[in-house]
Structure 1
Amino acid sequence: SANFRYKAYMEKIDYTIKRNLDRNQIERLASLDFIKDGQNIFITGSSGTGKSYIASAIGYEACKNGIRTLYSDASKLMGQLKMAKNKGTIESEMKKIEKCSLLILDDLFLIGLDARERSILMEIIEDRHGLKSIIITSQLPVESWYDAIGDPTVADAILDRIVHTAHKIKLTGDSVRKINAKKK
C-alpha cells in the first residue's frame, strides 16, 4: 500500500492538454509489465506539467493490482533516511523500501544531494537494480542528473544502473494547474 499525495486515476489523465504525453506509452506502462521486468520510469518536465499525477496514477494502479508500492517525496525520504542513519535504524528503514516492488521518488534532484544522500541513493539503486522498479519524477531533464548527483563516480554508478532500461516521459508545455484554473 502507499500513502499518495492524492488519489490519481489512469482514466483521469488528460490527453487533450498539449504536453508531449503519449497515450499509448502511458497505457503500456499501466499494464505494469515494467515492474515485472524490474524497469524504471523517468518523468521529467517543468512544475505543474503533471509528473506527480502520472507517477501517482501508475502507483495507484500497481496498488490496485496487489503490488507493494512506496510513494515518497524524494527530499523528505532522504531526510528521514539520514535521521535513521544517525539513530542507527537505517537498515530497518532500507528493508521497508526493499520490500516494495515499486518505489516512487517524487521531485528528485529538486535540491542537490549531499554526500550522505548520494550514498543512500546509491544503496537504494544498488538494492533494486534489475529486480525492482523505481519511478522518478524530476523538474531536471535526465541529462542534468549527473551534475545534480554531485560526485562523478557516484553519478556514473547510479546512472549506469537506472538510465539504460528506463521508460522516459518528457512533459512539456504550461502548468496543468494554470490551464485548469483558466478553464474555471
Structure 2
Amino acid sequence: MEPPETTSTVTLRVNGVQHSLDLDHRTTVLDALREHLGLTGAKKGCDHAQCGACTVLVDGRRTNSCLLLAVAHDGAEVTTVEGLAEGDALHPLQAAFLERDGFQCGYCTPGQLCSALGMIAEAGAGAPSLVTPPAEAALSPAPVPLSPEEIRERMSGNLCRCGAYGNIVAAIEDVTR
C-alpha cells in the first residue's frame, strides 16, 4: 500500500492576485501567507485563535487564519492588511487608525484593521451582536448602528496588549459615521 499524499496544490486569490501553491496538508492559511507568499502583515500571536493578530478576510468574512487549513480553502479569496490600501492611498480605516493613534507597538494592528473591516460589513448586513438592542435586532437585515458598545463587543476577539482600545474604537467610529 502506498502512503497517502501529504501535499496538494492549493489556489488562493490573495489581495486580488491568484497564487497556486504546493502545500503540506497541515499548512494553515496564516503560514501560507507568511511563509510561502511573504505577506507578513497577519501575525502569529497565540496560534490558537484567541488573540486575533492573524485576522484576515476570507471570502469577505473575517477569520482567524491560524486555524484554517489552506487545503480546505482552495479557491478562496483572501484579503490581508497588505491588500487594504489602493496604491499610496490608505484605506479609510488605516487613515483613521493613524489619525487616532489606534496602535502603539503595532503588532495587533493588521488583525484589528481586517477585523474592523469585516465587522463593519457584518453590522451593515444586519447581523446582531450580544449588545444589539432586541428592537434593532428584530429589524434584521437592516444595518445595525455601530455605537461604541457595539464596536467594543464586535472587536472583542482582537486583543491589544498595549491597551489602545479607546483609540481603536474612536478610529472605527470615525469611519462608520
Which category describes the TM-score, using the shorter chain as reference length? Answer: under 0.3
Greater C-alpha radius of gyration: 2
Length-normalised TM-score, structure 1 = 0.27
Higher helix share: 1
Length-normalised TM-score, structure 2 = 0.27
Which protein has greater RCO, CA pairs closer than 8 Å, 6+ apart?
1
